[in-house]
């Protein structure tokens, strides 16, 4: 069995190619992907060649961990059946081509335990489930204060703000410096940092990935306040110790979502408490993947680029 897939041969060397799929086992599903998202975090780092080394990393690879599609093959014991609409957080089924994270393909093979049923009515927005679950993971847990200040009004920042409102908390303040991303707020203010006089935030969530902001964020928290690093940081992080000492600052790193986060986030979406609308700003046929990736990584107005696999086999 073969499939078309996005193949990243090396930094900035990307195109659509054909891969041979691993035959499915008893615990596997075969899923035909309708839509896959392009991550401006991890995928941009792979594409640019700036991803720090980690086990299993290498080229060529099939990127992507934001995919939604339809089950086309399923064993009875899997709990799924053909026709089920599912979210797939990637796959590793391409033989010698690495699956990091392996979701940007027309058809893929994955363990049934990894996928999550979604409402077919979500359409392309179904590919955003992992990003929404990442936002939920940053906020969930005992003793975690909900955001009062969110840095960055990209997709992750917007999801953090929407989840804060869904939890019944007061509207958070969101900082943004790019004029192209100031619009689109739903019930919370978006301002430039210099327009914000507050120095008493109890919880600041950074969704910008800009580690150079740490000293500024320390200056903005109340005594004992927390800074949550919800982005991905390629450079070593540092901050001036005396101001952090005086504030008794706490710094927490939020990792990727878990299975429980996916389930909880899907429940919020199904109940109408969390909306994914307005987050997909760009879409392109998968056959135009090279240009779509350049747009996703280079156009500030592009919050989320979705590849449409409908015309690809």
- C-alpha span between 277 and 269 (Å, rounded): 11
What pLDDT is attached to residue 313? 67
Q: Which residue has the tokens 């994270």?
A: 101
Segment-wise mean pLDDT, segments of 10 residues, the chain, 313 residues: 94 94 94 96 87 80 96 92 96 90 95 95 96 96 90 97 97 97 96 98 96 97 97 91 98 92 95 96 96 95 96 75
Alpha-helical (H) ranges within the chain are 42-48, 129-139, 155-166, 214-220, 241-247, 259-270, 289-298
Question: Which tokens in the block code for residue 67?
Answer: 């995919």
Query: 3-state SS string over 133-167?
Result: HHHHHHHCCCCCCCCCEEECCCHHHHHHHHHHHHC
* Edge-to-edge strand list for the sheet holding 13-20: 13-20, 2-10, 61-62, 98-99
| Domains identified in the chain and CATH numbers | 2-117+281-308 (3.90.180.10), 135-253 (3.40.50.720)
pTM of the model: 0.93
> Do the strands 201-206 and 85-88 form a parallel or antiparallel pair, or are they unpaired?
unpaired
Nearest Cα neighbor of 104 from 10, 4, 1 is 4
Question: Which tokens in the block code for residue 306?
Answer: 């979705």
Sequence-separated (6 or more) residues with CB below 8 Å from residue 93? 21, 22, 99, 102, 108, 109, 110
């Amino acid at each position: 069995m073969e499939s078309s897939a996005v193949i990243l041969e090396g930094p900035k060397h990307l195109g659509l190619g054909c891969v041979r799929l691993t035959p499915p086992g008893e615990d596997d599903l075969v899923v035909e992907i309708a839509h896959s998202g392009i991550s401006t975090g991890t995928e941009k780092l792979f594409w640019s060649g700036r991803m720090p080394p980690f086990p299993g990393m290498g080229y060529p690879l099939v990127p992507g961990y934001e995919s939604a599609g339809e089950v086309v093959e399923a064993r009875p014991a899997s709990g799924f059946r053909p026709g089920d609409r599912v979210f797939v957080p990637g796959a590793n089924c391409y033989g010698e081509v690495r699956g990091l994270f392996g979701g940007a393909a027309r058809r893929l093979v994955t363990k049934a335990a990894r996928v999550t049923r979604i409402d077919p009515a979500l359409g392309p927005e179904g590919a955003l489930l992992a990003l929404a679950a990442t936002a939920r993971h940053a906020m969930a847990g005992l003793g975690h204060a909900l955001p009062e200040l969110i840095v960055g009004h990209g997709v992750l920042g917007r999801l953090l703000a929407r989840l804060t409102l869904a939890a019944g908390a007061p509207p958070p303040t969101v900082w943004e410096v790019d004029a192209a991303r100031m619009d689109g707020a739903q019930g919370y203010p978006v301002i430039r940092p210099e327009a914000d006089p507050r120095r008493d935030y109890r919880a600041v969530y950074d969704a910008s990935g800009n580690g150079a902001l740490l000293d500024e964020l320390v200056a903005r928290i109340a005594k004992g306040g927390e800074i949550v690093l919800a982005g991905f940081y390629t450079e070593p992080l540092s901050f001036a110790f005396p101001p952090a000492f005086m504030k008794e600052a706490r710094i927490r790193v939020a990792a990727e979502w878990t299975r429980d986060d996916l389930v909880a986030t899907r429940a919020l979406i199904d109940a109408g408490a969390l909306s994914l609308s307005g987050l997909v700003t760009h879409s392109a046929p998968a056959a135009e993947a090279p240009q779509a990736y350049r747009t996703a990584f280079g156009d500030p107005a592009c919050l989320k680029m979705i590849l449409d696999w409908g015309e690809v086999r």
